[in-house]
Structure 1
Amino acid sequence: MVSRIGILTGGGDCPGLNAAIRAIVRRADLGNVSTYGFRAGWRGVLQGSVEQLTISSTRGLLHRGGTMLGTSRVDPYREERGPERIREALEVYRLDGLVVIGGEGTLAASHRLAEDEGLPILGVPKTIDNDVGGTDLTIGFLTAVRTATEAVDRLHSTAESHDRVMVLEVMGRHAGWIATYAGMAGGADAILVPEVPFDIDAVGRHLKHRAGMGRDFSIVVVAEGALPKEGTLELEAPPLDEFGRPKLGGIGHTIAHEIEQRTGFPARVTILGHVQRGGSPTPMDRVLATQMGVKAAEFAMDGAWGTMTAYRDNGVVPIPLAEATAHLKTVPADLFAVAETFFG
């Protein structure tokens, strides 16, 4: 019988994390299960930084962005005796299992710990990139789309006033969900995503065509991980971070420069960056986080370790962590084809 569970939030922050924590604590309390929060993601588990969570301590969290527990990008498999120390932490604090709220990297580590080490772990997907497999939505995505769409709306007015091309760079390392959704919702004139290599000459021709039709301004939304078609544009190799991944950001400047060179139109760049991660979650993200939090507590109490909460058909179901982490969920071709309808 489950009586004590731990919670952590790992990876990048996003709106809705606090709502999920609140929901887990509330539902667990109804089942007479105590909850304990680890500070700063996996680092807190490794260092024993933990606090008991109660209904009182999690009041007022629903609308707050960020995470009350803090987060980090610590990977337990990169730490000395990482998996062993996590097992020890569960034993020391007499926890029956651990609910891990995270994105692709955090959930991948969770899957390894559950599969290879036999640790009782249950995942909850959160990432503004919406690229976790097996779930229609991830916590934080819809709020990031709202932020990016508002930026597109605001850029429209200044672009039209000055007859300029406005390039908006949004997050999206391997998947262009934010760019696609915000571009469609905001009426962008071109959307560049990692899934579909772009031809910068074709983009320039399209913007010239718009000008010839009397539309002397344009909006281009580009995901940070967008790549050109082979042989069409040379990009400098980005530096690597401490995990060996390319440090992305800045492709918007390259796109704007190339557009100016090919069209003669003045172009300006806005990079949203971490603005997309912050702020109060939208009502839909609050509801999604609450649904996932409640179900995570219920699945944990049922002993459904090794699974992840997945949003499907307006409900939350458990799916194997193996399925959730098998591949990145990218923008499907048919959805991007809908967006392309408005590029002509």
Structure 2
Amino acid sequence: MTGVIGVLTGGGDCPGLNAAIRAVVRSGIAKKYRVIGILNGWQGLIGNDTLPLTDHSVSGIISLGGTILGTSRTDPMKNPEDIDTIKHTLDKLGIEGLVVIGGDGTLRAAHEVSNRGVPLVGIPKTIDNDVFGTDVTIGFDTAVFIVTEAIDRLHTTAESHHRIMVLEVMGRRSGRIALAAGMAGGADLILVPDVRVSMEEICQSLHARYRAGKKFSIVVVAEGTRHEDIAGTTVPECDRDECGHEKFVGIGNFLGKELEHRLGIETRVTVLGHVQRGGSPTAQDRILATHLGIAAVKQIQAGNFGCMVGLQGNQIVSVPLEKVVIQYRSIDPEEYARAKMVAGIHD
């Protein structure tokens, strides 16, 4: 054996994490590394909660959702002494390179931990697909598939009852799930945090459909869409999780009530919530996760730490974490304009 690699999954779960873990383990073994799994994200390094990973350990997990390692939203930078504990754990286990699979919050923490001397490589995962430096993240394709299927199913009941159907999907600061699935599912209106739209504009667009003889509408709204633009009532202050992320109170329900009040059209709301995170990953997510897992081990072998591996075009690339964490991938206004163009609503 040439050394030891550690691997952890942090933040929210998503389909494809196990495929990435499998790729890290199998490519690591192929390069004569021993692989140790860190349980429950950064908390596993703080509490020295680990397990060895072998070829047998990862057999058959590529199709499983979630993560066999468990995850948490523990922030390793919250308590200064935790960094020393993490370093001690890594030294005790002989880990010379750590693979950190996570989204924006986990990768930001990885950048800070890396700056304090921990050798690591990041892999981007988040159903929101808002990590800078990669065209797509693990979990996004599966989430879009799930939401598109929901839109397809809502179409039949919306048309039968001449209703407005509001579908709230995940998307904290970027509405890429809403945009992609909305386009794929033929949504009539897509609302995202990236583009501000007033309640008046929304009502005008939907009213235009009804004037044109279209007696139902599908509205897809990302959970992070600004309340002050949509809701006509006072929105209570949201709680936050341990990473400071807002726990949303349900823009879909506010929007549904307001549309029914203003337009006088029966409106129903569906909130998909964590359904979008669950289940078996699509083939595309399994393939992406496998490529990124292999690439992460390659970076460790080369001694290239403090970076994230990602997909740009058809190339697997390495991006310094310092560049990844300074911005995020928002929706280009032209992307939104194209979606609006094919929605059948024209001003």
TM-score range, shorter chain: over 0.9
Mapped to 1, the partners of 2:272 and 2:27 lie a distance apart of: 36
Cα pair 1:43 1:72 within 8 Å, conserved: yes
Cα pair 2:77 2:112 within 8 Å, conserved: no
- Secondary structure at the residue paired with 1:300? helix
Q: CA deviation at 1:316?
A: 1.1
Q: CA deviation at 1:199?
A: 1.3
Cα pair 1:200 1:228 within 8 Å, conserved: no
Equivalent residue, structure 1, for 2:133: 134
Q: CA deviation at 1:3?
A: 1.1
Mapped to 1, the partners of 2:52 and 2:319 lie a distance apart of: 28
Equivalent residue, structure 1, for 2:212: 213
2:21 corresponds to 1:21? yes
Cα pair 1:2 1:96 within 8 Å, conserved: no
Identity %: 47
2:270 corresponds to 1:270? yes
Greater shift in the superposed pair: 121-130 or 333-342: 333-342
Q: CA deviation at 1:229?
A: 6.5
The alignment's TM-score, normalised by the length of structure 1, stands at 0.97
Q: CA deviation at 1:240?
A: 2.1
Q: CA deviation at 1:80?
A: 5.4
Q: CA deviation at 1:42?
A: 0.5
Mapped to 2, the partners of 1:185 and 1:106 lie a distance apart of: 30
Mapped to 2, the partners of 1:188 and 1:231 lie a distance apart of: 18
The alignment's TM-score, normalised by the length of structure 2, stands at 0.96
Aligned residues: 343
Q: CA deviation at 1:161?
A: 0.6
Cα pair 1:130 1:137 within 8 Å, conserved: yes
The answer for unaligned runs of 5 or more in structure 1 is: none
Cα pair 2:27 2:294 within 8 Å, conserved: yes
Greater shift in the superposed pair: 231-240 or 146-155: 231-240
Cα pair 1:193 1:225 within 8 Å, conserved: yes
Distance 1:160 1:311, change over 3 A: same
Write out aligned runs for 1:88-127 (5 A). Answer: 88-115=88-115, 117-127=116-126
Equivalent residue, structure 1, for 2:151: 152
Cα pair 1:36 1:52 within 8 Å, conserved: yes
Mapped to 2, the partners of 1:329 and 1:269 lie a distance apart of: 28
Cα pair 2:163 2:266 within 8 Å, conserved: yes
Q: CA deviation at 1:234?
A: 4.9
Q: Give the letter aligned to residue 148 of structure 1.
A: V
- Secondary structure at the residue paired with 1:161? helix
Q: Give the letter aligned to residue 169 of structure 1.
A: E
Equivalent residue, structure 1, for 2:292: 292
CA RMSD of aligned residues (A): 1.5
Mapped to 2, the partners of 1:207 and 1:69 lie a distance apart of: 46
Equivalent residue, structure 2, for 1:41: 41
Mapped to 1, the partners of 2:230 and 2:265 lie a distance apart of: 24
Equivalent residue, structure 1, for 2:162: 163
